[in-house]
Amino acid sequence: MKSKKIKPLSEFRQDPVSGDWILLAPLRSKGYKFEGGAKMRVSKNQCPFENPSKFGNAPPVLVYQKETKSDWFLQIIPNKYPAVGQGDCDLIHQIGLYKTQTGIGFHELVIFRDHDRYFADFTKEEIKKVFLAYQERYRSLAKEKCVKYISIFHNHGQEAGSTVPHPHSQILALPIVPSDVRHSLNGLRLYFNEHNKCAHCQMLTQELKEKKRIIYQNKKMIVFVPFVSRTEFEIRIFPKKHFAYFDKIKNEELEFLADALKFAFFKIDKKLKDPAFNFFIHTAPTIRNRNYSHYHWHIEILPKFDIFGGFELGTGMDIITIAPEKAAEILKR
């Protein structure tokens, strides 16, 4: 008996000139929409994440309890409106000039229990627990044969793309390596081949020497405003030790990462008056039998102050109005 063919939820499409992929996911348009600023207010009884099972969501794949064990701290559930879904690991299809691939993969939500507590309000211990959960799901999804890259990100505020104000992160496991990651990997590989050194490690060496853009550091992590920032007050957090994979970070290092993130989120909240922001983890792909030793995993935090105009969209070149050195000075105060 033949198995029933699953209708794909979405489709990847590749630009034949740049080689960049986009994801066409019509189901995402059915998601919840709320109005408001960075800290949007929606009553708990109307919130789909206050009690996920009540709103028809699938059972959680992972639950972490609060320290008191009286309630859950976070739960990870399959996204009710996923950008990717089930299917076979099929080959890329050629449609005339264009290439497509079925939008297979996994799309999960990391929902935090407290309705109006945000990362700036979390303790270092709570931030560490969040990243332990990220790691646990990353390792599980990385075992899936179709998965080549896992994106972990958090949207804070409507301007950053958040459609549900209840604090939550997202995890997307994809059958392709996204364009921005691919460009970064290729750039780092070219630099390594030419200089036999990691470009990011060289960057950290210069930042530590100049001390103009570093806003915080501890034994294992460095927090700084990059020399080439894409937005005002962009923050990057790097492990001082070079390695490619976020999921390989050990428990002791997670404590230092939580300390660095706590500082960064606190400064964004207090010094910048709680703007909308995105943060995401940049890590090496999960592709087996591929060497990514030249890559240096890290976290990027991008506050949202401006809307892209014609120049930015037409050229791919960002315009910022505050020098990274000045931004670091403000954040360090």
Summarised one tens digit per residue, pLDDT across range 167-226 is 999 999 999 999 999 999 999 999 999 999 999 999 999 999 999 999 999 999 999 999
Residue 123 main-chain phi, psi, to 5 deg = -80, 165
283 and 205 in a single domain? The answer is yes
Mean pLDDT over 91-117 rounds to: 91
Note whether 145 and 219 are same-domain residues: no
Q: How many CB atoms lie within 10 A of CB 234?
A: 20
| Helix ranges, 9-93 (H) | none
Mean pLDDT over 272-291 rounds to 92
More confident residue, 209 or 18: 209
Helix (H) or strand (E) segment spanning residue 312: helix 310-315
- The verdict on 286 and 239 lying in the same domain is yes
34 pLDDT higher than 90: no
- Domain membership flag for residue 54: yes
* Residue 325 in domain: yes
Same domain, 103 and 234: no
pLDDT of residue 36: 35
CA angle, 158 then 72 then 260, to 5°? 60
Number of domains in the chain: 2
Give phi and psi for 323, each to the nearest 5: -60, 140
Residue 89 pLDDT: 81
Q: Are 173 and 301 in contact (CB under 8 A)?
A: no
What is the mean pLDDT of the segment spanning 84-99?
85
Q: How far apart are CA 205 and CA 158, in angstroms?
A: 36
**Mean pLDDT, the chain, as a whole number?**
88
Domain that holds residue 300: 196-332
Instruction: Report the pLDDT value the prediction gives residue 28, as an integer from 0 to 100.
Output: 63
CATH number, domain of 293, equals 3.30.428.10
Which of 149, 179, 209 corresponds to the end of one domain? 179
pTM of the shown model: 0.90
Q: What is residue 99's predicted lDDT score, i.e. its pLDDT?
A: 87
Alpha carbon distance 273, 219 (integer Å): 29
Are 237 and 215 contacting, i.e. CB atoms less than 8 angstroms apart? no
Are 318 and 237 within one domain?
Answer: yes
For the chain, give the longest Cα–Cα distance.
68
Specify if 39 maps to a domain.
no
Clarify whether residues 260 and 166 are in a common domain.
no
- Same domain for 140 and 262, yes or no, is no
Helix or strand run (H / E) with residue 300: strand 298-303
